[in-house]
Structure 1
Amino acid sequence: MRTAFVIAASLIALAACSPEPAPEANGVNGAEVEAAPRGPSAPVYPESRASDQRDTYQSAALGEVAIADPYRWLEADVRVSDEVADWVRAQQDVTNAYLEELPGRSRIAERLTELWNYERYGLPSERGGRYFFTRNDGLQNQSVLMVQEGLDGEPRVLIDPNTWSDDGTIALAGSVASSDGSLVAYLIQEGGSDWRTIRVIDVDTGQVLDDEIRWVKFSPLSWAKDGSGFFYSRYPEPAPGEEFTSLNMDQAIYFHALGTDQSEDRLIQADPDNPEVSWRGSVSHDGRYLVINSSTGTDGNGVWILDLDAEGAEPVEIFQGFANNHSYVGNVGETFLFRTDLDAPNQRVVALELSDPSVRRDVIAQGDFPITSASHAGGHLIVQTMRDVASAVTIHDLDGALVREVELPGLGVAAGFASNPDSAETFFSFSSFNQPGALYRHEIDTGETEVFRAPELTFDPDDYVVSQVFFESTGAVQVPMFIVHHRDVTPDGARPTLLFGYGGFNIPMRPGFDVRRLQWMEMGGVFALANIRGGSEYGRDWHDGGRLAEKQNVFDDFINAAEHLIETGWTSPANLAIEGRSNGGLLVGAVSNQRPDLFAAGLPGVGVMDMLRFNQFTAGRFWVSDYGSPQDPAMFDVLYAYSPLHNIPEGQGYPATLITTADTDDRVVPGHSFKFAAALQAADTGEAPTLIRIETSAGHGAGTPVSKLIEETADKWAFIAWHTGLAIE
């Protein structure tokens, strides 16, 4: 039975920005009625010291300009600076006191724990007749790596990261089995950091070998064909105290031979004269070649191929420069298949010969919708496409002729379809907003599909309605948006609604399952996902339409999505909350600044908030390809115009804001959120609270224990429920 969560009409009428408790209601002629729940008291913020720091930039419009940065000191690592550590503790005390007074917070956590308690599986991979996959029994902080002998074998635990720490903050961040399935190299992540440590385990004995590789980040793992070792990428060891803040430069590819010390690893590819270039290598399916990718940012890569069987061979350049994106699909001998957006904004699959890689022929031509993935499996090509954001999958022969379309369970997201070129099977997952991921096994020759693993659910997916709408935005562009809700919820102009967006880095927002969103809908809220420009929902043109000088389109799209929800009768500004993470946190900060009248509450998570200094820390320099450089006078003007930290409006009401970050986030360093919180609290933005929730021993998101995810979600949902008028029984 669905837990009873209802929308209380008495709370809908509350001013969305007021943190004060609702007055007690009195009945007619003195009759007593139930009082509205009391909420938290207005927070008293800790003092944030303001310095006289100023920096000089070059503006294309204004020439030399000096920009104040009074909270520069908050960029320091909390582990190094006592002053920042004291500030964090003071902020947490204020935030915790406010959150503890929110109605329904403990009930949200309790119900979310119930909903989260279902089996979840990762996609299996087959090596040497063994199947490797991850499993979570429901509430395990970290998923466990399983192995089974053959399709009918009994799964057994190979690696259980839940035994590595008491609080679940050490995670298994990936694993790759050798071609014969006898060894598994795996990545260890501590405290949510992007840094990884590589270890190796013997599958038969369960013994962890002595091999240990450190300072690995943004790296694939790829075994040599004979299992003698593996290729990986690493950075130089950072200086003490700078592990979580210093720029990531001088990445290189190495080969590690099993049984040797990391100091003996063989350097494969590096470019000391260009330390900003990143390098990653993966062994081809036949084991003969190393496919090398290079990049300087998040958009565009070069490709080389190194013949591992030819002694003294030099890499052959396949795709030059960083203007386009290319992904290895497979090869038959010296004929290679790549997925590329070169001369194809929606991507295509091309074939080329290693002897003359400049000659390329289309195998799968670009179509009306973007290709998102292609794999060489079972002597076929399996091509995944986004059709108006939802998944479609087709199977072709190696000449590109269509064999069949794979029948999917509905409107949602398919993932997987990787396999070996000579394998008869492949696996994929499928999920939707109202359906958790199930795993399927697909026979490539026959087209038969069967369930491999599927979770038992604690809710009925048919209780939820998934619809897709389109609205007009800047430049008369039609933007899609998914709207999802419980069947009992209908438009009434005042539905508490959560609008989510991202809009960047060529990353699409897909209609997949998230148990946290399901709970918001079970509570009576509406969830909307806007597929705004900056992602890849409609290929490279969609991405280009929301980056660099076109970034304002992203914010316009999101604002227009909110206005569409209001105009079509779903909600109102007093009942509308917005959420985004990372680049999406930037989105929430920017649109809150630009249209504070449009939103009741905002949840900017691990956001990029200082657009003038983002490229000074860890991976931030990679983002110049999407944002542009603040050292470029023309892009300075663009960045400064929307930077959340520098455009906080004063003298008007601002949405209630709960900023979330983590102390070990070395992707978007927490200084972004610290400075934004200090600036918001110091500004005249009205009575709505500005709070910052700082998770400990956590990072940008990956590897966060389930227990911490539940706690954070309970805090966020209780916060926006109170400020959008959603009452919780």
Structure 2
Amino acid sequence: MTPAFGAARSAAAFTLFALACTAFSAPLPARDVPETLHGVTVHDPYRYLENIKDPQVQDWLKAEGLRARQALDQIPGREAMEKRIAELSAGSGDSLGEIVRMPGGKTFYLKRARGERQYKLVLREGGHERVLVNPQAEADRTGIAHAINYFVPSWDGRHVAYGLSAGGSEDASLHIMEVASGRRVGDPIPRVREPNVSWLPDSRSITYNQLRALGPEDADTETYLDSSVMWLKLGEPASQARAVFGPTVTKQLGLDRLDVGGIVFAPGSRWMVARTTDTTQRESSLFIARVEELGRGTPAWKRIAAFDDKIVEIELQGEHLYYRTRQGAPRYRIMKLDLRAPELARAQELAVPPEGGVIESFAMGRGETLMASVRDGTAIKLRLYGAGDRRGQAVKLPFVGAARLHDDPAHAYGDWLYTLSGWTRPPQTLRLAGGVSTDAGLRPPAKLAAGPAIEIVDVKVPSHDGALVPMTLIYKKGLKRDGGNPTLLTAYGSYGLSETANFNPARLAWLERGGVLAIANVRGSGVYGEPWRMAGFKASKPNTWKDGVACAQYLIAQGYASPRTLAAMGTSAGGIFVGRSVTTAPQLFAAAIFNVGVMDAVRAEDSANGITNISEFGSYRNPREFPALLEMSTYHQIRDGVPYPAVLLVHGMNDPRVDVWHSAKAAARLQAASSSGKPVLLRLDGQAGHGVGSTATQRNALWADIYSFLLWQMGKAGPQ
């Protein structure tokens, strides 16, 4: 047993540790590909793992996945952990996803009933619920998990369009269904990945964004380039669809090849608005034309806003466009623009956030009334703005948590529908009318058994430069600060997305075991608006993981954890947070979870989705941006002979957002470099992607693996 492993571990845990180390005792051969970039020699010993179609790479991935599975399954108490998480999930009741209310009392929503694996698309009308689409039926037929990626009802409620994908790939095909009969209208339309699907006001035709069909000679980076917005009349075959917007369609607009477009319509409005993004940045260019122009050829689109106008969200109503922007408002504001004179300088300010708040989203009601979701730390509150009331009024909610407004795109209702959840409180879907919230009747109340009393504490941690980083601590009341508590530090820190109070029943299993959850809004998040985001962006990205290191030091100094009981976790772009925190200060951590993480930021842009993230992280081809990319790349910062903590890398083989080779390369490099003797496991799922569309069973198993791995490495594995 090495000194780093700790003398307090049980004999069973030691035996498992030895098994895992034996399984990984033969590091993968390095085949270095040195490359000089802007005068810097960059070594890449496992570049060949990027070719996951290579049979040898496939064999290695399968072997690594099997070894990880065998090691995880032998952790004492792991099976009991999964069973407990499943019990807690069932006790949380039905789970609802997106909810859309349409005129005539029709409510469409995604629902995963208690004990079921996957979300179904259902319609509620007149107090009765009817299943429209059950992806589990397709999964049973093919043996491959299927998921609904998005859905859009027609304005008259007679049809619904939805995207269906397989194996977590998010590679959705567009389906159209007649609601009354359940009959499919036409054949599925492939390569409609993004939810840029809209019905025209008469509900007789639809527009959608379709990616090009790539040939074998095309690079992966071509995937999202030169997409087109197609217009299809209901009942016609997809071959009759006409391209009406896009880089190769409307060349006179000067669109970039990466401008992925969608068109917004609204009943009662003669206008249509085309919006473009690179699929990751929320800022967009906007163009307008009249709906009637679709029938006369390519519309005469007029640009009304560019990326630099910083418009991130829009809503169309009659002659006016309502939008959320950070132009001149680092915490955002809501504006109103008359499309008959569409100059942004003439736009009217409708709503500003309260002191210290950040407007996260908004929805228009009848007339000039609007409701905004306003961030206050990890809580999301609601604020009602009446005509002429720029400051708005706070809405009283049943408890402090995160409120999510649901869509009423036709503005057919005088009330509001929202879902409220908290760190330890299951979601409730509520109807707000006259300032009073009542149950919306879409799901029965959760039936969670009474658990331990939980304490939630918000702290602010001084970072390396004095900036105060907000962090939420969750643990059982009466916790002893003796450094012996299993503690998990998590953060994201990219795109301005913030950690928000949300309910995950698996967390309760961690808290029951005496665990501490530490959730930080490091720089790169938007918890304090745009300045906080830009302080963890491109060249300033090191603040993201330096904030993480500061939070880890705080947890140890305050006695919540110690280096033998502290772990860090990051997901997706949060892989930069966790990977660089661990490689910067490995002595602070017992273990780490790299969950579908960005591990090689230098090579990322040469992948299908990586090219869409250049706007967030930069390009290695740019000499000014390259140094920051190299510094934020965990793979390139791993050093030989360093005693790194135990690492569990998690990835789905069908991940369309962060290619699986990110985790593969980081795992191989860590296995070869680490001197601690602690295991580096690569957990792979052949029917998963980035987590979108994963079944309840898959999610329960994943959390059981994560928590069991951490408890094992902290010397606390085994029955409770």
TM-score of the pair, normalised by structure 1: 0.91
Q: For residue 408 of structure 1, what is the aligned residue in structure 2?
A: 397
1:663 to 644, 653, 658: 653
Please give the alpha-carbon distance, in whole angstroms, between the structure 1 residues aligned to 2:78 and 2:219.
36
1:318-339 residue CA offsets vs partner (Å, 9 max, x unmatched): 21234623311343x3232211
CA RMSD of aligned residues (A): 2.3
**Runs of 4 or more consecutive aligned structure 1 residues displaced over 6 Å after TM superposition:** 241-245
Q: Is the counterpart of residue 302 in structure 1 residue 317 in structure 2?
A: no
Please give the alpha-carbon distance, in whole angstroms, between the structure 2 residues aligned to 1:18 and 1:708.
30
Q: Which moved more, 1:694-703 or 1:384-393?
A: 384-393
Deviation (angstroms), 1:16: 8.9
Q: For residue 534 of structure 1, what is the aligned residue in structure 2?
A: 524
Does the Cα contact within 8 Å between 1:496 and 1:725 map onto a contact in 2?
no
Map 1:308-319 → 2, pairs under 5 A:
308-310=291-293, 312=296, 313-319=299-305
Please give the alpha-carbon distance, in whole angstroms, between the structure 1 residues aligned to 2:4 and 2:444.
43
Q: Is the counterpart of residue 321 in structure 1 residue 301 in structure 2?
A: no
Q: Which moved more, 1:460-469 or 1:199-208?
A: 460-469
Map 1:76-91 → 2, pairs under 5 A:
76-77=51-52, 80-91=53-64
Q: Is the counterpart of residue 116 in structure 1 residue 89 in structure 2?
A: yes
Map 1:501-540 → 2, pairs under 5 A:
501-540=491-530
Q: Which structure 2 segments of 5+ residues have no match?
A: none
Q: Which amino acid aligns with 2:273?
A: V
1:161 to 135, 147, 154: 135
Please give the alpha-carbon distance, in whole angstroms, between the structure 2 residues aligned to 1:497 and 1:717.
10
Q: Which moved more, 1:178-187 or 1:248-257?
A: 248-257
1:309-368 residue CA offsets vs partner (Å, 9 max, x unmatched): 35654223221234623311343x323221111111110111222223232221113543
Q: For residue 3 of structure 1, what is the aligned residue in structure 2?
A: none
Map 1:562-601 → 2, pairs under 5 A:
562-601=552-591
Q: Is the counterpart of residue 456 in structure 1 residue 446 in structure 2?
A: yes
Q: Which moved more, 1:252-261 or 1:297-306?
A: 297-306
1:421 to 384, 387, 411: 411
Q: Which moved more, 1:638-647 or 1:570-579?
A: 638-647
Q: For residue 42 of structure 2, what is the aligned residue in structure 1?
A: 67
Does the Cα contact within 8 Å between 2:214 and 2:223 map onto a contact in 1?
no
Please give the alpha-carbon distance, in whole angstroms, between the structure 1 residues aligned to 2:470 and 2:674.
36
**CA distance change for structure 1 residues 338 and 686 in 2, over 3 Å: closer, same or farther?**
same
Please give the alpha-carbon distance, in whole angstroms, between the structure 2 residues aligned to 1:502 and 1:518.
21
Deviation (angstroms), 1:83: 1.3
Q: For residue 32 of structure 1, what is the aligned residue in structure 2?
A: none
SS of residue matched to 1:474 = coil
Map 1:102-141 → 2, pairs under 5 A:
102-117=75-90, 118-127=93-102, 128-141=104-117
Deviation (angstroms), 1:635: 1.7
Q: For residue 17 of structure 2, what is the aligned residue in structure 1?
A: 40
Please give the alpha-carbon distance, in whole angstroms, between the structure 1 residues aligned to 2:6 and 2:268.
63
Q: For residue 288 of structure 1, what is the aligned residue in structure 2?
A: 270
1:57 to 37, 42, 47: 37
Map 1:250-649 → 2, pairs under 5 A:
250-272=226-248, 274-284=256-266, 286-296=268-278, 298-299=280-281, 300-310=283-293, 312=296, 313-322=299-308, 324-331=310-317, 333-354=318-339, 355-358=341-344, 359-367=346-354, 368-379=356-367, 380-401=369-390, 404-419=393-408, 420-443=410-433, 446-452=434-440, 453-460=443-450, 463-649=453-639
Please give the alpha-carbon distance, in whole angstroms, between the structure 2 residues aligned to 1:664 and 1:19.
37
Please give the alpha-carbon distance, in whole angstroms, between the structure 1 residues aligned to 2:29 and 2:452.
53
Please give the alpha-carbon distance, in whole angstroms, between the structure 2 residues aligned to 1:243 and 1:434.
45
Deviation (angstroms), 1:203: 1.3
1:110-157 residue CA offsets vs partner (Å, 9 max, x unmatched): 11111111211235322232221222122322111221223xx22121
Deviation (angstroms), 1:282: 2.1
Please give the alpha-carbon distance, in whole angstroms, between the structure 1 residues aligned to 2:8 and 2:210.
53
Deviation (angstroms), 1:650: 2.8
TM-score of the pair, normalised by structure 2: 0.92
Please give the alpha-carbon distance, in whole angstroms, between the structure 1 residues aligned to 2:576 and 2:217.
27
**CA distance change for structure 1 residues 51 and 130 in 2, over 3 Å: closer, same or farther?**
same
Deviation (angstroms), 1:403: 6.2
Please give the alpha-carbon distance, in whole angstroms, between the structure 1 residues aligned to 2:177 and 2:329.
43
Deviation (angstroms), 1:244: 7.1
Does the Cα contact within 8 Å between 1:324 and 1:340 map onto a contact in 2?
yes
Does the Cα contact within 8 Å between 1:40 and 1:101 map onto a contact in 2?
no
Please give the alpha-carbon distance, in whole angstroms, between the structure 1 residues aligned to 2:247 and 2:220.
23
Deviation (angstroms), 1:290: 2.3
Does the Cα contact within 8 Å between 1:297 and 1:625 map onto a contact in 2?
no
Q: Which moved more, 1:294-303 or 1:263-272?
A: 294-303
Q: Which amino acid aligns with 1:268?
A: V
Deviation (angstroms), 1:247: 4.1
Q: For residue 11 of structure 1, what is the aligned residue in structure 2?
A: none
SS of residue matched to 1:214 = coil
**CA distance change for structure 1 residues 36 and 171 in 2, over 3 Å: closer, same or farther?**
closer
1:376-421 residue CA offsets vs partner (Å, 9 max, x unmatched): 1133110111112311211112333566422122221110143233
**CA distance change for structure 1 residues 365 and 713 in 2, over 3 Å: closer, same or farther?**
closer
Q: For residue 7 of structure 1, what is the aligned residue in structure 2?
A: none
Q: Which moved more, 1:615-624 or 1:414-423?
A: 414-423
Q: Which moved more, 1:573-582 or 1:261-270?
A: 261-270
Say how many residue pairs are matched: 694
Does the Cα contact within 8 Å between 1:123 and 1:429 map onto a contact in 2?
no
2:691 to 695, 701, 717: 701
Deviation (angstroms), 1:294: 1.7
Deviation (angstroms), 1:616: 0.7
**CA distance change for structure 1 residues 261 and 17 in 2, over 3 Å: closer, same or farther?**
farther
Please give the alpha-carbon distance, in whole angstroms, between the structure 2 residues aligned to 1:241 and 1:672.
23
SS of residue matched to 1:132 = strand
Please give the alpha-carbon distance, in whole angstroms, between the structure 1 residues aligned to 2:118 and 2:218.
28
Does the Cα contact within 8 Å between 1:426 and 1:442 map onto a contact in 2?
yes
Does the Cα contact within 8 Å between 1:376 and 1:418 map onto a contact in 2?
no
Please give the alpha-carbon distance, in whole angstroms, between the structure 2 residues aligned to 1:193 and 1:289.
35
Q: Which amino acid aligns with 2:334?
A: V
Which structure has more relative contact order (CA 8 Å, sep 6+)? It is 1
1:562-620 residue CA offsets vs partner (Å, 9 max, x unmatched): 11111222111110011111111222111111000011000011111111111111111
Please give the alpha-carbon distance, in whole angstroms, between the structure 1 residues aligned to 2:526 and 2:2.
38
Q: Which amino acid aligns with 1:305?
A: I
Q: Which structure 1 segments of 5+ residues have no match?
A: 1-13, 25-34, 59-63
**CA distance change for structure 1 residues 576 and 126 in 2, over 3 Å: closer, same or farther?**
same
SS of residue matched to 1:85 = helix
**CA distance change for structure 1 residues 485 and 457 in 2, over 3 Å: closer, same or farther?**
farther
**CA distance change for structure 1 residues 553 and 292 in 2, over 3 Å: closer, same or farther?**
same
Q: Which moved more, 1:97-106 or 1:365-374?
A: 365-374
